[in-house]
Amino acid sequence: MEVIKRLKQYYLLYISLALTTAFYPFVINIAIDFSPKITIHEAKSFLDGKRKKLGIEDKIALQTFDDYGLYKSGLKGFCGRNDYGYIIGASKPDLSRIVIDHELYHFLNGECEGRVGNTITESIRILRDLKLSWKDMFLKEPRANIYALKR
- Pairing type for strands 60-65 and 85-91 reads parallel
Mean pLDDT of the chain: 79
Q: What is the pLDDT of residue 150?
A: 76
**Residue 134: which H helix or E strand, with range?**
helix 134-135
pLDDT over 80 (residue 50): yes
How far apart are alpha carbons 8 and 4 in whole angstroms? 6
Confidence of residue 25 (pLDDT cuts 50, 70, 90): low
Could you read off the pLDDT of 101-112 as tens digits, one per residue?
999 999 999 998
Confidence of residue 2 (pLDDT cuts 50, 70, 90): low
Report which of residues 80 and 121 the model is more confident about.
Answer: 80
